Amino acid sequence: MTFGLLVANRGFFPAHLVTEGREQMIKLLEGAGHKVICPTPDETRYGAVESRADAKACADLFAKHRAEIQGIVVTLPNFGDEKTAAETLRLADLHVPVLVHAFPDTPGEMLIADRRDSFCGKMSVCNNLQQFGIRYSLTSLHTVDPASKEFAADLAQFSAVCRVANGLRRLRIGQIGARPTAFNTVRFSEKILEANGIAVEPLDLSEIFGRINRLGDADKPVTAKLAAIESYVTHADIPKPSLLKMAKLGAVIDEWMQANDLAISAVQCWTSMEEYFGVVPCTVMSMMSNNLMSSACEVDIAGVVGMHALRLATESPSALLDWNNNYGNQLDKAVCFHCSNLPKHFFAEVKMDFQEIIAGTVGKLNTFGTMVGKVKAAPMTYARFSTHDIEGRIRGYLGEGRFTDDPLTTFGGAGVVEIPHLQSLLHYICEKGFEHHVAANMDQCAAAVYEATTKYLGWDVYWHR
């Protein structure tokens, strides 16, 4: 990450606290692998902000690095000048997440030579940020030593918040094909997404198939994609012509997404792909998701937004699943399933096979390419976002649970999930009319995604706990 660092100062406090605090914070941020943009002592007094002139200088510096800065850390080595801190952020006008941090005082060092009063100053800074309409995040403790494990955790979460908020604000999604007629549940408002900074770029399946027809079996993009598929998953029982079709499909999608600067995708599958092309796109989509380019089937654009939010928070692959079955009479457990395009990351063992559901309609030979295996036991976060067309907003829900190692005999990609108060969540989903699809990630990141979407994006999100 690249962070702007704003060191707030109030002049009648000891100068050494500001100098040392600034140096310590820069060292810790850089030590965590981040780049820091901060005024030098030549640009402002002590490299901090305490006057209108300092605010303008710091804001100009931040603005020059607008394309780089992903978040701003406001740190208070002492009480800090609350007005100029807010003025700096207003003048810089970056619209990125802000973390407010305050150094702790040390008992026994409370005389004028070492007194900070950051405990008090943080409240004043936050008060002014509220007045200025600037959104901000807080550390878990009111004052905290930057060298502590608590601040390390705060910084990790703030980084995730920045990735989610910034990543969703400028997101470009590839829509490959039309929504299948049978899936009214995945309808969405492209205009509401656009109003939230999310662009959708459509491409008809006819164009995909047309571009595939122009490719030769020995063309370099095709042979490269075929080699990638064969090294990605066990495929011993898959006919070579089916693998070649997948390679051409993947090569065309890769080229189109790169040419249009698209980060993620949603693909029409059921059942046009099978009837008119002769494979399922599951393996190609699984590979994209596994490479952090989330891909959802049934053209579930809103569903892939949820996948991407979780992937941004954790920097690991996400999947789209169905809330599919009860698990016996265990009320906090359910079966999550897809048929499947889950990323390889989700499985202990996985192989490529044919899609048993669609095979009954279009024949087995037209359905090779699905990823079959049991989801491995792991912690998990789930999320669902949707466009609410009547109210003109994005809404959603999220929470945490775990994939279990409970036995499960089925086809496709499936796993048992355990979620606290699951019945209450299911009631919420049904009463609010949410879809049967849910995004999942094998890490726990609900807090970061919730803060990013509600505080910085203004979405209406329920956190189930």
pLDDT level of residue 13 (50, 70, 90 thresholds): confident
In one-letter notation, the amino acid at residue 146 is P
Q: Residues 408-443: pLDDT tens digits?
A: 999 999 999 999 999 999 999 999 999 999 999 999
Q: Residues 39-91: pLDDT tens digits?
A: 999 999 999 999 999 999 999 999 999 999 999 999 999 999 999 999 999 99
pLDDT level of residue 238 (50, 70, 90 thresholds): very high
- Given a cut of 90, whether residue 247 has pLDDT beyond it is yes
| Rounded Cα–Cα distance for residues 274 and 291 (Å) | 24
- Given a cut of 80, whether residue 112 has pLDDT beyond it is no
Which two tokens mark 354? Answer: 């044919």
CA–CA distances in Å: residue 399 to residues 4, 97, 230, 386, 446: 31, 22, 36, 16, 6
- Given a cut of 80, whether residue 111 has pLDDT beyond it is no
pLDDT level of residue 450 (50, 70, 90 thresholds): very high
pLDDT level of residue 444 (50, 70, 90 thresholds): very high
Q: What is the pLDDT of residue 293?
A: 98
DSSP readout, 262-282? --EEEE--TTHHHHHTSS-SH
pLDDT level of residue 186 (50, 70, 90 thresholds): very high
Please state which of the four CATH numbers 3.40.50.1370, 3.90.640.10, 3.40.275.10, 3.90.870.10 is assigned to the domain occupying 172-464: 3.40.275.10
| Rounded Cα–Cα distance for residues 306 and 314 (Å) | 13
Q: What is the pLDDT of residue 191?
A: 97
Q: Residues 190-228: pLDDT tens digits?
A: 999 999 999 999 999 999 999 999 999 999 999 999 999
Q: Residues 16-27: pLDDT tens digits?
A: 999 999 999 999
Going along 46-133, which residue ranges are E strands?
Answer: 71-76, 98-102
Domain with CATH 3.40.275.10 in the chain: 172-464
Percent of the chain scoring above 70 in pLDDT = 100
Percent of the chain scoring above 90 in pLDDT = 93
pLDDT level of residue 150 (50, 70, 90 thresholds): very high
Considering just the CA atoms, what is the radius of gyration of the chain in Å?
A: 25
Q: What is the pLDDT of residue 148?
A: 97
| Rounded Cα–Cα distance for residues 226 and 78 (Å) | 60
Q: What is the pLDDT of residue 109?
A: 79
Q: What is the pLDDT of residue 422?
A: 98
Q: Residues 379-394: pLDDT tens digits?
A: 999 999 999 999 999 9
Question: CATH class for domain 2-169?
Answer: alpha beta
Q: Please classify residue 4 by burial: count the beta carbons closer than 10 Å to its beta carbon, then call 0-12 exposed, 13-18 middle and 19+ buried.
A: buried
pLDDT level of residue 100 (50, 70, 90 thresholds): very high
Helix (H) or strand (E) holding 376: none
Q: Residues 346-381: pLDDT tens digits?
A: 999 999 999 988 888 899 999 999 999 999 999 999
